[in-house]
A and B are shown apart, each in its own frame.
Chain A
Amino acid sequence: MITGMDRLAAAARGEILDRIPVFCNLVDQGARELGMPLETYFSRGEYVAEAQLRMLGKYGHDNVWSLFYVGREAELLGCRKIKYANDGPPNVEDFVIKSYADIERLEVPDDISTHPAFAETAHCLEILKREVGGKAPICAYLTASMSLPAILMSMEKWIELLMLGPTEMRDLLLEKCSAFFQKEIEAYRKAGADVLVYADPYGSTDIVPMSMFRELSLPWMKRDLAAGGLDGVVYYVGGARVNGVLDQVIEEVGFGTYYPGPMDDIGESMRLVADRALCGAVINDIRLIDWTPEEVRAEVKRLVQRGLKISKKLFFGTILMPFGIPDANIRAMIDAACEFGRPDRLEA
């Protein structure tokens, strides 16, 4: 039987076994699956693992996630207050950095794998590895040094520091965030994650000017990844666009997989990647809330076929899917990606 891992390995070689890999970022939906409030759901690694396994069986996509919520990384760096919602992702409520003196005081844990705030994630990974290791790609979410400050001090204060300085504080924070990233990726690899999503919205020129991308985003990317290497690492910029920097990132960093934003033209992304790496056809998952299943199917078909016309080094993906997406649309999306993600379904 062909597994998700087999499909992913084949796609990376430019081959399709039965269909392209279908990556589905179902995170908050796990709480609904287990019938519990989001705050309860995120309190235990076994809940997250169980929901991921149930959803994998229910929907038939290819991957599982060890991500609880993005603010988890802030907790590893000292955040003590998270704001939970009933219908969406939790958010950092109390920022670790409230003044520049806090940047100087910020301490990067020596060993993240033994940090108490990592314990439930490690437990989740242990279960996922035991149940589907080697069969379904196990994903982890790691924020790049250039983007992590946004959850430590707020987007507003980070962009203010980036654009107005003082540069020595900016650079000190980037140093610490990069040191954290290097320890974090080591911990995730040790715990069993195989797909390491390098989340870097500030690595998109939707967020920063090209000059800053070249002077900061790109060098810090290289530095984050220098020690641990690129094995299993995916370049991801959230909902932002990546096409404007794709060629530079491929040339200078050389990730094996790229995850364009939903506003990128997939045809252009595939042409830019030009078979140098695996690339995602990523749907605008905010629209999945209101589209009909037929509209979902048509959009998935358009995306997948547009990508496949250029190369087989393709997977289907979502951003972090909103909690409010109806179950019927999740099913319609995955079914369509499986159905149209095959060369024999390619229409002229």
Chain B
Amino acid sequence: MLDDILRAYTEAIYNADRTTALAVVDAARASGVSPEDIVFKVVIPGLDMMIKAINDGFDTNLAQHFMTAHIAADVTDRMLAQFARPPEMVGHVVIGTAAGDLHTLGKRIVMGCLKAQMIDAIDLGVNVPAERFVDEAVARGASVIAVSAMMVHTARGENGAIKVRQLLRERQLEGRIRLVVGGAPFRYDPRLYQIVGADAWADNGVSAARVILDFIKEARS
């Protein structure tokens, strides 16, 4: 039965169809599927299938990514309220836009997907100084700093990811905290993440959550 639910949910998120996705979830709950199974056996595998589709060249778009994250976060919120016991968080990440950058869409997509993965995403907002990224990561025990940049000069700027890397090095935190970047400029130059000193990048917000999750798992192992 869960296979059918997953298939129907995944089809709904491909179609950016929130109404149908929520109806699938409601019907599953009514038929006795637990809220834990909805999150761990439907929502999270649904995200994985979307990532696979993107990687396999399925032609997705920004609106689909937005809706995938929005639906995942929405369903997760509703299910968490019904969990038998609060789930253990997988890990912590601090996320924000680079110094000088005011674009929030990418960050929102990443955060929606992280929520479903049980990752505590601490939103530092927009135009975040490099020092704050590092200070907050240390204070919150985050194993990943995620820097979003929509413009070339904020992606490459010396006060953005480049400075975060410099601070991690100076404070000898490179072994503990990974730096992940994302945003339009990185899509147009896949080598750019290395130029700015990041450990990894993602082509889109949905895939970024997977990259962050992998680093968190690595830190826990």
A residues near B, CB below 8 A?
A: 83, 85, 87-89, 91-93, 154-156, 159-160, 162-164, 205-209, 212, 239, 244, 262-263, 284, 286-287, 289-290, 322-324
Contacts and interface: CB of A to CB of B under 8 A. Distances in A.
24 contacts: A87-B157, A88-B100, A88-B152, A88-B157, A92-B102, A156-B103, A156-B104, A160-B66, A163-B63, A205-B61, A206-B61, A208-B61, A208-B62, A209-B61, A209-B63, A212-B63, A286-B188, A287-B189, A289-B156, A290-B189, A290-B195, A322-B152, A322-B153, A323-B152
Given A156-B108, A239-B188, A207 B61 contact: yes
A159 B153 contact: no
A263 B16 CA distance: 24
Contacts of A212: 63
A91 B102 contact: yes
Contacts of A159: 62-63, 66, 105
Contacts of A85: 100, 153-154
Interface string B86-118: 000000000000001011110010000000000
A93 B102 contact: yes
Contact of A155 (B70, B105, B152, B192): B105
Nearest to A162: B63
Contacts of B15: 209
A324 B152 contact: yes
Contact of B153 (A88, A263, A290): A88
Q: Which 6 A-B pairs have the closest CB atoms?
A: A88-B153, A286-B188, A322-B152, A156-B105, A155-B105, A156-B104
* Chain A facing B: main interface SS: loop
B102 A286 contact: no
B80 to A, nearest CB: 21
**What range describes how many residues of B lie at the interface?**
20 to 34
* Chain B facing A: main interface SS: helix
Nearest to A291: B189
Interface in B115-162: 151-154, 156-157
Contact of B103 (A155, A164, A263, A324): A155
Given A87-B157, A284-B188, A289 B66 contact: no
B130 to A, nearest CB: 16
B151 A88 contact: yes
B153 A323 contact: yes
